[in-house]
Amino acid sequence: MPHKLKGAAPGLLCVAIARPDTGAAIQAARQAQAFADVIEIRLDSLAEPAIAPFLQAIATPLLFTNRPRWEGGQGDGPEEKRLALLLQAVQAGAAYVDIELNSEQAAVQGLCAAARQQGGTQVIVSWHNFSETPGVAALTDIFSRQRSSGAQIGKIVTMAHDFTDVLRVLQLQEEAHRHGFPLIAFCMGRAGMISRLATLELGGFMTYAALNADEATAPGQLAALELLNCLKSFGHAD
């Protein structure tokens, strides 16, 4: 699929889909194909989570996420079952899977090892804080742990209360560039909305958007077409 972003913004646009019914989620993903580089399927939102139906129906690269409640998701079942779905996605050849940095270390390492063996899946190791943005030292430590995790891509997303929070998170892109480690880094909340665009200008690997304003999966998440219209003003969107 051709890149939807062009010019000086090399990052990807991921549209997040979080619907309770598999058929409805596939329908939404099909709508997103027109403007998404990657489509995130939130398994934790599905009443009956599955991998194969999405891979069979959607040609756009898919990212499977199964977010637990302890990191802002809806998943509240056994941890073994939650992680087994991510392993299933790897084995089925999904383009990306997302696993939380604060998952059991053995689980993170095992998923990364399976992805390397499979060869077709990139692992995103993520860390979210829905209440605040930590200080520089804490953020740098999280980034360092992500680099050491075995994953190919890091993701750090925090709640911003003012511009200083946003600047601390976006500054991580300089560190990521120095180490050659792809990083997704931006902020949630009203103060963080600008970072969802700015992260691409600063070399961020990917930013996230909703299919529409009513289906945002995080505070401050923009609708995809709204985000693309903003990027057009910078000359980066087709």
Active site residues: 128, 155
Q: Which residues, in sequence order, are CB contacts of 112 under 8 Å at separation 6+? A: 123, 125, 149, 150, 151
- Are 19 and 25 in contact, with CB atoms under 8 Å apart? yes
Strands (E), the chain: 12-17, 38-42, 62-65, 96-100, 122-129, 153-159, 183-188, 206-210
Q: What is the DSSP letter of 196?
A: H
N-to-C CA span, the chain: 13
